[in-house]
């Protein structure tokens, strides 16, 4: 007879009452558990997307099937790459106010200057205005006092500092505010949702033009010249003073050059009104920058009603008091509306004097608020996405079949081990057992109603069909080495 390389197993029923219900119930339970586990590993894939808030993406993407016991593979969880911030980069904060340019990045632990920083939506901390400079420039040769157009080319600059906690530890960020003096452009200055930003942006414009107007009214001594051609007033934050209304909150220094090239850097009284107006301008800039960068604990004029009244009109300034050059109509200056009037938030064509602004505008405004801020960046994230329904079902089905087959093999090994320990022979087929083999003792077998191998019973003489069943390939009569008794 031809003998193939391949074989097939002979089977017999398991002699256990519990085996069938265990297989059915256990198979159903395992199929459900395997399906849940396979949803995580085979039902989804990682899709790259760009997001602006990786914190929300990472927290919202953590689904039940990503957690143990269904999945221990952390690479399957949503992940986001850090964005690189380099010196010279410009950015906005999540408050959507001013624009900033990175000037320096210094690691706090060793004061090492870094060219760039790996940033992953870390909140800005302890932000404040370090300094501000009013750069005043005359554009004509009109003898002073003149009019505000003589100083229309004047501008301002400011530098702020922030702290960021990163994987490298605390990092100090120095940034320059990007604006042009009176025109502070905020991305979102909605008066109902960003009321503090609206007030800050509007009042900064008034007080910048107040500086320009007061500068045009200065009368310089005849021995100095006819007019001042250029000058700068610097304001430096004094960290030891916490009262933003204090004159020493910002220390100042200045210098001016006349048309005869004489430098005027003395503390002459003629510059005091200009410096006072510029100091209040810098207070407003500090307040706007602090809330825009999320420093809600910093001294601020734009976060409560009492300070807001002071921010609108600085009555400590002689120029803003009743009768001063910048109070209401200011008839002596040909009604300088740029410095004394503010536009209504809901009607750009209507303006009111600063002395009336709080009563007429505050009822229309939203709440004065501040919140933590981060740098606005886009981040590349990999988030789990569900496969197409058909593809997911096929993947889960195939994987379940593999796992169930492994569970079936394991159950077989356990059951066969039990049978060997109970003395049952698992290597005798069911057909042999039905034809008369039984256990007589652990070391021998006898054929029920038939002699052991080598003996011939009279009852079986001539029963060639039974003997043919026991012939091996050489034609010899053999007896199985053991017999299984059914439990």
- Residue 335: its pLDDT value, please? 54
Question: With 60 as the cut, is the pLDDT of residue 441 above it?
Answer: no
How confident is the model at residue 101, as a pLDDT?
96
Q: What is the mean pLDDT of the chain?
A: 81
pLDDT at position 76 = 67
pLDDT classification of 128: cutoffs 50, 70, 90: very high
Q: What is the pLDDT of residues 5-46, one digit of tens each?
A: 888 776 777 778 888 888 899 889 988 888 877 776 677 778
Query: What dihedral angle (degrees, nearest 10) is formed by the CA atoms of 133, 134, 135, 140?
Result: 180
Name the band, by pLDDT with cuts 50, 70 and 90, for residue 157: very high
Q: What is the pLDDT of residues 297-339, one digit of tens each?
A: 999 999 999 999 999 998 888 888 887 888 776 555 555 678 8
Q: What percent of the chain has pLDDT over 90?
A: 39
**Confidence band, pLDDT 50/70/90 cuts, at residue 453:** very low
Each domain of the chain, given as residue ranges in start order, spans: 19-77+385-421, 83-379, 428-487
- Residue 477 pLDDT greater than 60, yes or no: no
Q: What is the pLDDT of residue 191?
A: 93
Q: Is the pLDDT of residue 288 over 90?
A: yes
pLDDT tens across 160-192, in order? Answer: 999 999 888 899 999 999 888 888 888 898 999
Mean pLDDT for the stretch of residues 343-371 = 91
Give 48-88 pLDDT, tens digit per residue: 888 888 877 777 655 666 666 666 555 567 788 899 999 99
pTM: 0.73
């Amino acid at each position: 007879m031809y003998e193939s390389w391949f074989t097939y197993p002979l089977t017999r029923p398991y002699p256990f009452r519990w085996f069938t219900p265990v297989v059915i119930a256990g198979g159903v339970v395992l199929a459900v558990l395997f399906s849940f586990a396979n949803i995580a590993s085979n039902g989804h894939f990682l899709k790259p997307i760009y997001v602006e808030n990786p914190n929300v993406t990472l927290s919202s993407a953590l689904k039940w099937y990503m957690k143990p016991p269904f999945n221990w593979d952390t690479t399957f969880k949503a992940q986001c790459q850090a964005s690189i911030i380099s010196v010279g980069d410009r950015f906005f904060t999540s408050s959507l106010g001013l624009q900033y340019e990175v000037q320096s990045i210094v690691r706090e632990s060793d004061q090492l200057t870094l060219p760039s920083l790996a940033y992953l939506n870390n909140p800005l901390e302890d932000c404040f205005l370090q300094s501000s400079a009013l750069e005043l420039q005359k554009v004509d040769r009109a003898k002073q006092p003149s009019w505000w157009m003589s100083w229309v080319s004047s501008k301002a600059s400011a530098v702020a500092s922030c702290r960021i906690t990163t994987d490298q530890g605390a990092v100090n960020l120095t940034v320059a505010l990007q604006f042009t003096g009176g025109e502070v452009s905020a991305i979102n200055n909605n008066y109902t949702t960003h009321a503090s930003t609206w007030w800050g942006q509007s009042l900064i414009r008034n007080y910048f033009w107040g500086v320009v107007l007061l500068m045009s009214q200065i009368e310089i001594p005849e021995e100095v010249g006819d007019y001042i051609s250029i000058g700068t007033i610097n304001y430096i934050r004094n960290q030891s003073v916490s009262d933003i209304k204090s004159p020493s909150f910002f220390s100042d220094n200045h210098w001016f050059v006349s048309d005869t090239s004489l430098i005027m850097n003395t503390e002459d009284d003629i510059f005091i009104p200009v410096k006072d107006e510029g100091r209040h301008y810098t207070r407003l800039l500090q307040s706007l920058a602090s809330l825009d960068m999320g420093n809600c604990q910093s001294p601020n004029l734009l976060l409560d009603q009492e300070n807001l009244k002071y921010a609108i009109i600085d009555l400590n300034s002689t120029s803003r008091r009743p009768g001063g050059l910048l109070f209401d109509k200011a008839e002596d200056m040909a009604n300088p509306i740029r410095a004394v009037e503010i536009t209504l938030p809901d009607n750009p064509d209507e303006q009111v004097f600063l002395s009336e602004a709080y009563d007429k505008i505050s009822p229309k405004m939203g709440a004065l608020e501040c919140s933590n801020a981060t740098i606005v960046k886009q981040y590349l994230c990999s988030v789990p996405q569900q496969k197409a329904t058909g593809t997911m079902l096929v993947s889960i089905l195939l994987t379940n079949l593999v796992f169930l087959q492994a569970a079936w093999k394991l159950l077989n090994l356990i059951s066969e081990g039990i049978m060997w320990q109970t003395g049952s022979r698992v290597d005798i087929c069911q057909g042999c057992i039905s034809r008369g083999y039984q256990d007589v003792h652990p070391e021998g077998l006898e054929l029920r109603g038939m002699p052991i191998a080598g003996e011939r019973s009279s009852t079986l003489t001539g029963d060639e069909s039974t003997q043919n069943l026991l012939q091996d390939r050489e034609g010899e009569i053999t007896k199985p080495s053991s017999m299984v008794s059914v439990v």
